[in-house]
Amino acid sequence: MLESGALLNQIFIDPTRSVGDISRDIFGGFTEHLGRCIYGGIYEPTSPFADEKGLRTDVMQALRRLQVPLIRYPGGNFVSGYRWMDGVGPKAERPARVDMAWNAIDTNHFGTNEFIDFCRKLNTEPYMVVNCGDGDMREARDWVEYCNGTQDTALVRLRRQHGYEAPHQVKYWGIGNEVDGHWQIGYKTPDEYSRAYLEFAKVMKWIDPSIKLIASAASNWAGGTVVERTQLLMEQASKFIDYLSIHWYVGNPKNNFNDYMALSELIEERLAASEGLIRALSLQQGIRPIPIAVDEWNVWYRTHPENTNDINGLEETYNLEDALMVAIQLNSFIRHANSVKMANIAQLVNAIAPIFTSPEGLVLQTIFYPFEVYSQTCGTTALDVFWKGETFNSSNYGDVRVLDVSATLDERRNRLMVYVVNRSQSDAMETTISLGSGCHAELVQAYVVNGPNIKAENTFANPDQVGVSEAKCQTEKQSTFNYTFEPHSVTALSFAF
């Protein structure tokens, strides 16, 4: 039943109904030795934009706008064949190696210390992943000691000799990447991985008990081992697991907009299933549920090996529908704030990334804008939103609501944010937003990400097809608002109490 005067689309938000605290780490990033992500992306000593360390200042300037609190590195599939020792010390002496993950040669001119320099310049935390593919626990534990050690040991002396007196204090460490996929160097069965995880984790934590460890739980969703893998990991190693990692990529390979937009439901299913599984296993062990890290997520299909032989360094050109999909994923992290405590957009530069470089400059891809708006405005508490209204039909999930919504509160700044994706290609969505619990607020500002049509892209020739526009609203303090969401748009509404 519609209340009198209310529009067909309705969003209900009760600012007192919290879903959970939002971890800033859901706005994390990821950079891998892959294509032009590192070399020719963040690191290009010959570029006119390079600083004294060879880092591209134009790229760092764009990255600062995204305010990523942590960056995962060095892979990805790459890490499963990586020797971190190859990437430290004088560059002229570093060995070039074959990278079997991406069929490339790595000069190792960029390694641990270059990555730490990059993170410090961005004021972001490094998140290292150790090789649990063809690497061993000794190598992993040595890397922790090299980075974080403070005692007078050979590895700490080596770091100092390389110019880094103070420890890097790397807090986040992943053990392995996508070990559940046969595409991975050193694929592991659930049993092999949980055994390896426990032994790696033990020695890494013995070197530095303050580190946080991330276990690789699910990336091969159709592979049939997600449940067993998570169960074995938790049964054998839960006291050494600070986060359980899951990965996904979504896309539109059949060029069906409705089916693409309906993937919000797949994301919900994956998050709900992971939460349920972890909850059940935690209950069995009498422990608090382990948080989820979605430490690779994004749109990736045009350059995916499943769809093409020419992966081209994963240089995906994004369009407006992809920007909507990125916002949909961010909405899901906010709605699941109680369990998702880290998420890392994969990746940051050139390879499936919001920032695309050439030797002469860079372009901000369409997906840059929703990420920027959410990261810069997101509150500290996720709110329980309820919404209903018009639907669209999809072949994969039937009827799905046209709007996709999340809301956050920042009590210290007296600010409520409402994030809405309008998935209609053609129709503006007139919507009533009602605040519960006798709450009155003023609608102050709207940020709208949009472009001429769902296929609009930002390219060097045409860099501003999709962008963000800001509008001051300034209403009276009230509890009900009517707002019209533009077709194919992402809108962030800022309310003040």
Q: Which of the residues are catalytic?
A: 178, 296
Q: Is 347 in the site for ligand AHR (CB under 6 A)?
A: yes
Nearer to ligand AHR, 36 or 423 (CB): 36
Angular region, 129: left φ>0, alpha ψ -120 to 50, beta rest: beta
Among 71-79, 124-132, 265-273, 386-394, the segment contacting ligand AHR (CB under 6 A): 71-79
Both structure tokens of 108: 């190792």
Spell out, one character per residue from 273 to 302, where the chain touches ligand AHR: x when CB under 6 A holds, - when not.
Answer: -----------------------x------
437: Cα separation from own chain's centroid: 33
Q: State in angstroms the smallest separation of the CB of 75 from ligand AHR.
A: 5
Least distance from C-beta 319 to ligand AHR, angstroms? 19
Rounded to whole angstroms, the Cα distance separating 441 from 427 reads 27
**One-letter amino acid for residue 426 of the chain:** S
Residue 178 interacts with ligand AHR (CB under 6 A)? yes
* Choices 72-80, 154-162, 379-387, 406-414; region in contact with ligand AHR by CB under 6 A: 72-80
87 binding ligand AHR? (CB under 6 A): no
Edge-to-edge strand list for the sheet holding 467-472: 467-472, 442-450, 489-496, 415-422, 403-410, 381-388, 9-21, 429-435, 480-485
Q: Does 75 bind ligand AHR (CB under 6 A)?
A: yes
Residues 6+ apart with CB under 8 A from 346: 30, 32, 76, 247, 249, 296, 297, 298, 300, 352
DSSP per-residue letters across 222-268 = TSS-HHHHHHHHHHHHGGG-SEEEEEEEE--TT--HHHHHTHHHHHH
Q: How far is the CB of 355 from ligand AHR (least distance, A)?
A: 15
The separation between CA 128 and the C-alpha centre of its own chain, rounded to angstroms, equals 15
Q: Give yes or no for a cis peptide into 167 (omega within 30° of 0).
A: no
Q: Is 76 in the site for ligand AHR (CB under 6 A)?
A: yes
Q: Is 455 exposed, middle or buried (0-12, 13-18, 19+ CB in 10 A)?
A: middle
Judged by CB under 6 A, the residue of 130, 217, 281, 346 near ligand AHR is 346
Candidates 74-82, 107-115, 128-136, 321-329: pick the segment binding ligand AHR (CB under 6 A).
Answer: 74-82
Cβ nearer to ligand AHR, comparing 114 with 296: 296
Closest CB to ligand AHR among residues 49, 249? 249
Binding mask 90-129 for ligand AHR (x = CB under 6 A): ----------------------------------------
Closest alpha carbon to 488 in 240, 320, 342: 320
Binding status of residue 77 toward ligand AHR by CB under 6 A:
yes
Binding mask 134-173 for ligand AHR (x = CB under 6 A): ----------------------------------------
CB of 344 to ligand AHR, least distance (A): 10
User: Does the protein bind ligand AHR through residue 264 (CB under 6 A)?
Assistant: no
Which residues, numbered 32-51, are part of the site for ligand AHR (CB under 6 A)? Answer: 32
In eight-state DSSP terms, residue 43 is B
The phi-psi region of residue 255 (left if phi > 0; otherwise alpha if psi is between -120 and 50; otherwise beta) is left
In order of 135, 197, 289, 435, 482, the CA distances from 478 in angstroms are 60, 54, 39, 9, 11
Least distance to ligand AHR from the beta carbon of 395, Å? 26
Does 131 sit near ligand AHR (CB under 6 A)?
no
Supply the DSSP symbol for 417.
Answer: E
Tell me which residues touch ligand AHR (CB under 6 A). Answer: 32, 75-77, 177-178, 296, 346-347
